[in-house]
Amino acid sequence: MYKIGEALIGDGPELAHIDLLIGDKNGPVGQAFANGLSTLSVGHTPLTSVIRPNLMTKPATLIIPKVTVGDLEDASKIFGPAQTAVARAVADAVEDGYIPKEDVEDMVINVSVFIDPSAKDFRKIYQYNYGATKLAIRRAMEGYPSIEKVLAEKDRGTHPIMGFRVQRLWAPPYLQVALDLDNLDVMERILADLPNKERVLIEAGTPLVKKFGVGVVGKIRELRPDAFIIADLKTLDVGRVEVKMAADETADAVAISGLGTLESIKKAIHETQKQGIYSILDMMNVKDFEEKLSAIPDDLKPDIVLLHRNVDLETWIKEHGGNTEGMTEWGNIEKIKEITGSLVAVAGGITPDNVEEAIDKGADIIIAGRYIIGSRDVRRSAQDFLAHFGPDPDNMRLAMDEDENIAEDENNSEEKK
């Protein structure tokens, strides 16, 4: 038997990150303990954790430095505050009932400790490592996090050291702003004016990509580091190459033309899966798209199906006195979701006046182009749409909204008693 725990506590160079294994002396953790204690490694030599010299904690605990110990100053941080912090946290975990007293002689703990070489404050090193070790033990013994917690947080959490967010489309609806432009200065002005919200997705439109190349995605990323960026390539052939090019420029999604052959579509979607980005299948001018979508294997269904009205056709009909009502395929949204399980985006003639109708019919992504990018007040025009969307999914969350459920913890504590 062995259990795994992890915790990060603190801030600045003194922050503590703990990884640990708890298990039987006669099992794999015990073997790792013995190997670690008897193996010398330059700069990473493990040491037993003691409350004070000549008083080893129980269960016996091995500290493994994650960062190279380069000199005596680095060593003093490990042998002093970190060593004592870990030892006391282990003893307190026994006293608090997380580790049964009757098991302490049969168990060992291996603790990996991170100490930044630039850390100076010994008090903080002690405090943070004590808290992180005790929390990691508690989490290990309780099996935290549950798989439900992992799945709920996987698309929401951010790593503090990364410095940027990776957005996933987990809580529609979203507003996709199509930058169908041929001017970089205008693009930069629009991006500066667009609301910086999670619900706003940015599309590098086909004209933009054709004039400036797929590298324009990288330019957008420089201006909006945390944005969800779509490369509207309308890929028809050699999708693997084009998708990889867009992924290399940090695109979050690539639009593939539904007019391509089934083989081309499958290859392009396979490449998006390989690159870890979203696939968008644009069904513009595809006559029997339900049949085509059904022909795509389940494991290669697109992440997003785009129901796209042809702008040139719409203009021609209007010029000849025709009625463009019903040109969207909004009535087919639920059928498409039934076939593919995908999100559905709608584009073509959508304004704030009819956006709620599209959402009510099941649209997950509303694509707006001319209404926003052709406006003198880009921010106001975008807000006209966003007023129908509600707040960003995470705007009410606390910065550290990742804690264990208190009620569950209280129940676990009662069981221990």
The rounded distance, in Å, linking the Cα atoms of 188 and 183 is 9
> Which backbone phi and psi does 72 adopt, to 5 degrees?
-65, -35
The rounded distance, in Å, linking the Cα atoms of 260 and 253 is 18
- Distant-in-sequence, close-in-space partners of 261: CB < 8 Å, separation ≥ 6: none
Nearest Cα residue to 79 out of 36, 108, 113: 113
Give the burial class of 246: count Cβ atoms within 10 A of its Cβ; 0-12 exposed, 13-18 middle, 19 or more buried.
buried
Q: Would you say 175 and 368 are in contact if contact means Cβ atoms under 8 Å apart?
A: yes
The rounded distance, in Å, linking the Cα atoms of 224 and 165 is 11
The DSSP 8-state label assigned to residue 82 in this structure reads I
Quick check: is 388 catalytic?
no
Which two structure tokens, joined as six digits, stand for 213? 């190349």
Q: Would you say 132 and 10 are in contact if contact means Cβ atoms under 8 Å apart?
A: yes
The rounded distance, in Å, linking the Cα atoms of 62 and 37 is 7
> Which backbone phi and psi does 169 adopt, to 5 degrees?
-90, 75
- Among the listed residues 17, 44, 320, 388, the single catalytic one is 17
The rounded distance, in Å, linking the Cα atoms of 180 and 203 is 8
Query: Tokens 């069981």 identify what position?
Result: 415
Which two structure tokens, joined as six digits, stand for 209? 């990509």
Residues noted as catalytic: 17
